[in-house]
Amino acid sequence: MIESRITSEQLKPPAILPYRGLSARQWGMIAFLFSEATFFSTLIMVYIVYIGADAQPGGRGGPTPAGVLSMGLVIFTTICLLSSSATIHFAERALRRGSEASFRLWWAATIVLGIVFLAGTAYEWRELIAHGLTVQRNLFGTTYYTLVGFHGAHVTVGVIVMLILLMLALGRQVTARNPHGVELVSWYWHFVDGVWVVVFTVVYIVGR
Amino acid sequence: MNGPLLLALSEGSPQNLSIFDPVSPPAESIHHLSILVLSITAGIFLVVESILIYSLLRFRRRYVPGTSEPPQVYGSMPIEIAWTAAPALVVFVLTLVIARTEWEVRVDPNNLSPELKDAKALHVRVVGHQWWWEFNYDRYGDEKLDFVTANELHVPASHRAERSERRPVFLTLQSVDVAHSFWVPRLAGKTDLIPGRTNDMWFETEHTGLFVGQCAEYCGTQHANMLLRVYVDSPEEFTRWLTDQKKEARGGDDAELRKGKEVFLAQSCINCHRVRGTSARGTFGPDLTHLMSRDTLGSGVIENDRAGKRLREWIADPQKIKPGCLMPAFGLSESDLDRVTRYLASLE
Amino acid sequence: MALAEQTREAPPTWEAVLHEWVATVDHKRIGILYILMAVVFLVVAGIQALLMRWQLIVPRNTFLSPQVFNQMFTMHGTTMVFFMGMPILIGLGNFVVPLQIGARDMAFPRLNALGFWVSLFGGLLVYFSFLTGSAPDFGWFAYAPLTERTFARGPATEFWALGLIVSGIGTITAAVNFIATILGMRAPGMTLWKVPFFTWTILWTAVQILFAIPPLTAGLFLVLFDRQLGTHFFDPHTGGSAYLWQHLFWFFGHPEVYILILPAFGMIAEVIPVFSRKVLFGYEFMAAATMAIVFISLSVWAHHMFCVGMSRKLDLFFAASSLLVSIPTGIKMFNWLATMYGGKLWMASPMLFACGFLSMFLIGGLTGIMLAAAPFNFQLSDSYFVVGHFHWVLIGGTIFATFAGLHYWYPKATGRMLSERVARWQFGLLLIGFILTFGPMHIAGMLGMPRRIYTYDADRGWDLWNQLATIGGLIQAPSYLLFVYNITASLWKGRPAGDNPWDAWTLEWATTSPPPSYNFEEIPTVHSRRPLWDLRHPDDPDWQYE
């Protein structure tokens, strides 16, 4: 026994402080996004490892990032995606303030920006394939389509989920009193945008 | 080990593959390290296990639920610090020893110590195949070599005490298909052969004789039978062996052998096998130029007797002997089988 | 459940019971389902192990063809790691964690059910490969390019990779659920430093899962792309790198072994205090050691790759960081011993298995130090020594601890006590059989026997060690069957357990056995790590000392 005994009348446990941390669903979303982060880190590492591998002796040659990646389009789609982080933020704030109409507007804008991004990617891929860059052509194609494709798949999922929420909002099921879904989806969306910043840097700046 | 090699081949006579019986500097350095590590871990084992057993004996008593509890001890900072610091110290010392051994075992072939640099070194490029070994002899001292053999690596014995008599062996390791690993425990630790990479390892031994080992990285169906035989010959014997190996294959002298050769060259054998001096130039399977200079067939899986009895069985149906191996049975007629066997058995 | 029993209706039909279990979102039932799944796969993979041992009992045996033998060790490894080891630990966590932290369920009950069914389906998917005529045969770490089309022509690789992706998604959802539950749903008063130790280790296991499994999932996708889309990630003949796969795999593979051992540590840290009748010695250091293991383990993966020809400096880095893990592990070992020291040791079955864990895991840890010593590893790597080592850690560590946990919480889950007599037999057979199986493997490895060989020559001198190992396997096997018998028979024959048969101190023992579906009638408030101790000893509660 470390301390001497105290008489039982004195034994009042310290008061319990109320829990003020994040909610379970917020922790759940953070944990999920963490798993997504390690998933993308792996793909990004693989991309970095293979930068320039086609030009090595014994490499497959073929289109290079500098040769076929055009910056104009991707800068436009990047601006779209990044500004969608702002619009979703405004949407969430509008909902918290209780102005549901404004929420729906910003929310729809986010969806449109996401779709523009996807359309831009689709157009870019069509051009690249026309330049002869396919997944089979060389390691650049292999890693490029894998990384950008997995990111695009995440954007697609985000757009679909946002469409569902928009539908629910139109049915008055997402309201100022029930903003949790919106909050978590916006976290996901910010995350997907963040991943794009890294992908953009690695693919279009470092690897080009 | 020093007895006649054929004795070692006879059924059941035990081989020695113990890592605690090293005969070459890398294996010896590892052996020293292993003794140190084993002593440290044995010490830890004895201490911890005795505390556990002592506690079990001393404090074991029947607990009746609800009766008085022993004094509760919540922890102690000094004790915790002590048993964090003590293992940390052991880890630190171990790391230093590991560093020293690592640099002894894995020498940099481009930056050798003067003794090794001046030595009459043998350089062999080892290529792993599913499931056999290709040995490309590149250089022995200043002499450039250019022949290929398989599965049985011949190297010269060294004499470490005299600088001029040192004959280390440097292996360059590559693979054409999947990952393999070169492991002859008494000579050195293992080094992997990984497709797309080039690794290296070395050993040097004064002990003549046969040292066995095998592939140590799972490489597919017949991984178990990718056996390795390293013959350490006396320098004179080795030079004689080199001279023989450098020659091209004997032509078919008599009519029977010529016929056998014709059958061999007419069959698909030549797609995979090479016999130097003939039109057989395949590289997918082992080089057969001096097939009968080898003691075993199928990467050590059966004996290669002088009469060619096992050789005939192998050609007839390799799948019976090494199921899953990449050489199929070709369905040769009995007479063709005899002829091919006789021809191959003449390739000494 | 308790309520259902009180109604006067006829006992439910088996279809109704089945439906109730299949459709359940109750964390306790899902936990039990996970454990049942693990037990089934344990038996399946155990049979595979026995077949391999039988093949190796004499040199040049022809009991199994090389193809079948290679499929057996691939499936044995894959099953034991993914469909036995992780599910049984996640199952125990699922059952225990909400009870221990005073929650009514996991944070996301439906996601929890999804996670279980997805894991099970992933396991079945891998086994469906047998229906196509050949199971995967490239070893559980599937070194490239063995998984490329050139070397693995049939669809077995697809089944294997897809099965692991699917079950991996299940594992990730479980981890997400644990983190959300433990961080967001603790009973009032239970700060993060006051959670029971098992819960603490489950939290960090979940973090570890999020570090390890998604990279594996990514890697498996790349394998599938190589096979199905014609990409070139891991095929050296088309510009890819076989070596890269090894890094990707072990970046998952080594944290994976900590995923399998951390909850075991947690169970031992629950059982030893209760059966020594003492508070856990040095909780804070134990907790910190757990975190240290998680973070250090992220930088040790390449100690599986010492023979691939990395630079000497890299070898040294990975050797040193692997050795570092021994420090927090040592802290745990010493704290458990200090907890026992001066206690009143009650040698009931959970404690028996916990003591088995202490002495056996110690050996597994020490052979781990040998393997971490890079140059020594050049000899030991990929030999039977390694096989002996990791079985010593996974059986001597994870399995012994899991049995300790299962014997400890079985009364809580069922309301019945397990037979102590059967448990003692099970313990004895397991201990003897286990030592006899895996001890000789260390020796065979040091005598030059590589792992994953389906046969060997008589002249190698490995016969004796292999025969001993096979005999050991035959002794071990019935011990698992005894356990299956015990958990089944005790459902009817077991003595009623009561709420708190072990006189333990954490919240799960404050509710009935089995607990109602809502766990606690009233959410308890806690002031210390041992709320029931505080109740029992109002004159000297724990919170004074924490």
**Res C3 pLDDT > 60:** no
Residue-level pLDDT at B318: 96
Q: Do the Cβ atoms of A1 and B72 come within 8 Å?
A: yes
Q: What angle do CA C63, C67, C71 make, to 5 degrees?
A: 100
**pLDDT digits over C364-420, tens only?**
999 999 999 999 999 999 999 999 999 999 999 999 999 999 999 999 999 999 999
Instruction: Examine the pLDDT at A5 and tell me if it is beyond 60.
Output: no
End-to-end Cα, chain A, rounded Å: 67
Each residue's pLDDT tens digit, B181-220: 999 999 999 999 999 999 999 999 999 999 999 999 999 9
What pLDDT, on the 0 to 100 scale, is given for residue B348?
87
Mean pLDDT across the stretch C484-495?
96
pLDDT at B253 > cutoff 50 = yes
> Do A21 and C184 make contact, defined as CB atoms within 8 angstroms?
yes
Partner-chain contact A24 C248, CB within 8 Å = no
Chosen for mutation from C157, C378, C386 (greatest number of chain B CBs closer than 10 Å) is C378
- Kindly report, residue by residue over C230-254, the tens digit of the pLDDT: 999 999 988 899 999 999 999 999 9
Amino acid at position C287, single letter: A
- Write out chain C residues lying below 8 Å of A27, CB-based: 107, 179-180, 183-184
Mean pLDDT of B73-99: 95
Cβ–Cβ contact B12 with A under 8 A: no
| Structure-model confidence comparison of residues C280 and B63, the more confident one | C280
Closest residue in C to B226 (Cα–Cα):
C453
Q: Do residues C113 and C30 touch, judged by C-beta distance below 8 A?
A: yes
pLDDT at A39: 98
User: Quick one: what percent of chain B has pLDDT higher than 70?
Assistant: 96
Residues 6+ apart with CB under 8 A from B237: B208
Inform me whether the pLDDT recorded for B53 exceeds 80. yes
Contacts of B75 in chain A (CB under 8 A): none
Given CB atoms, is B21 within the 8 Å cutoff of chain C?
no
Mean pLDDT computed over every residue of chain C: 95
pLDDT tens digit sequence for C127-159: 999 999 889 999 999 999 999 999 998 899 999
Judging contacts by C-beta atoms under 8 Å, the chain B residues touching residue C383 are 216
pLDDT by residue (tens digit) across A54-64?
988 878 889 99
Question: What is the nearest CA distance from A3 to chain B, expressed in angstroms?
Answer: 11
pLDDT digits (tens, 9 = 90+) for C17-46: 999 999 999 999 999 999 999 999 999 999
- B65 shares contact with chain A (CB less than 8 Å): no
Query: Minimal Cα–Cα distance from C167 to chain A, Å?
Result: 15
Model confidence at B36: pLDDT above 60: yes
Of B37, B80, B223, the CB nearest to C376: B37
Q: How far apart are CA A146 and CA C532, in angstroms?
A: 54
Whether C434 contacts C469, CB under 8 Å: no
Mean pLDDT along residues C262-291: 97
A16 touches C: beta carbon within 8 Å: yes
* B71 in A contact zone (CB under 8 Å): yes
Give one DSSP letter per residue of B107-157, joined into a string.
Answer: --TTS--HHHHHS--EEEEEEEETTEEEEEEEEETTEEEEEEEESEEEEE-
Q: How far apart are CA C35 and CA C263, in angstroms?
A: 14
Q: Are C30 and C116 in contact (CB under 8 A)?
A: yes
Distance from CA of A35 to the nearest CA of C (A): 5
Checking if the pLDDT of A118 tops 50, the result is: yes
Share of chain B above pLDDT 90, in %: 83
Among B104, B93, B36, B95, residue whose Cα is nearest residue C320: B95
In chain A, residues with a C-beta closer than 8 Å to the C-beta of B74 are 2
Mean pLDDT rounded to a whole number for chain A: 92
**Interchain CB distance below 8 Å, B55 and C277:** no
A1 min Cα distance to partner chain B (Å): 6
Query: Are the Cβ atoms of B71 and A1 closer than 8 angstroms?
Result: yes
How far, in Å, CA of C224 to CA of C286, rounded? Answer: 41
Q: Which of C108, C210, C220, C245 to mutate to test the interface with A (most CBs of A within 10 A)?
A: C210
Give the other-Cβ count within 10 Å of C292's Cβ: 18
What pLDDT shows up at residue B11? 45
Question: Has the ipTM of the complex gone over 0.90?
Answer: yes
Tell the residue number behind the tokens 């009817």, with chain if given: C492
Pairing of strands B122-129, B169-175: parallel
- Beta-carbon separation of B178 and C146 below 8 A: yes
Q: Which site among A42, A137, A154 would you substitute to test the C interface, given the most C Cβ atoms closer than 10 Å to its Cβ? A: A42
From the CA of C95, how many Å to the nearest CA of chain B? 25
Q: What local confidence, expressed as pLDDT, does residue C10 receive?
A: 74
The stretch A119-147 carries a mean pLDDT of: 96
Q: In this complex, which of A38, A60, A138 lies closest to C215 when CB atoms are compared?
A: A38
Tokens representing residue C20 in the block: 């109730």
CB contact under 8 Å between A1 and B74, yes or no, is no
pLDDT category at A4 given cuts 50, 70, 90 is very low
Cβ of B215 within 8 Å of Cβ of C450? The answer is yes
Whether B5 shows a pLDDT value over 50: the answer reads no
What would the mean pLDDT of A5-27 be, rounded to a whole number?
A: 77
**Please, which pLDDT band fits residue A174 given cuts at 50, 70 and 90?**
confident
**Cβ separation A3–C176 shorter than 8 A:** no
**How much is the pLDDT for B2?**
37
pLDDT digits (tens, 9 = 90+) for C39-83: 999 999 999 999 999 999 999 999 999 999 999 999 999 999 999
Among A29-38, B11-20, B143-152, B325-334, which stretch is predicted with the lowest mean pLDDT? B11-20
Residue C270 has pLDDT above 60, yes or no: yes
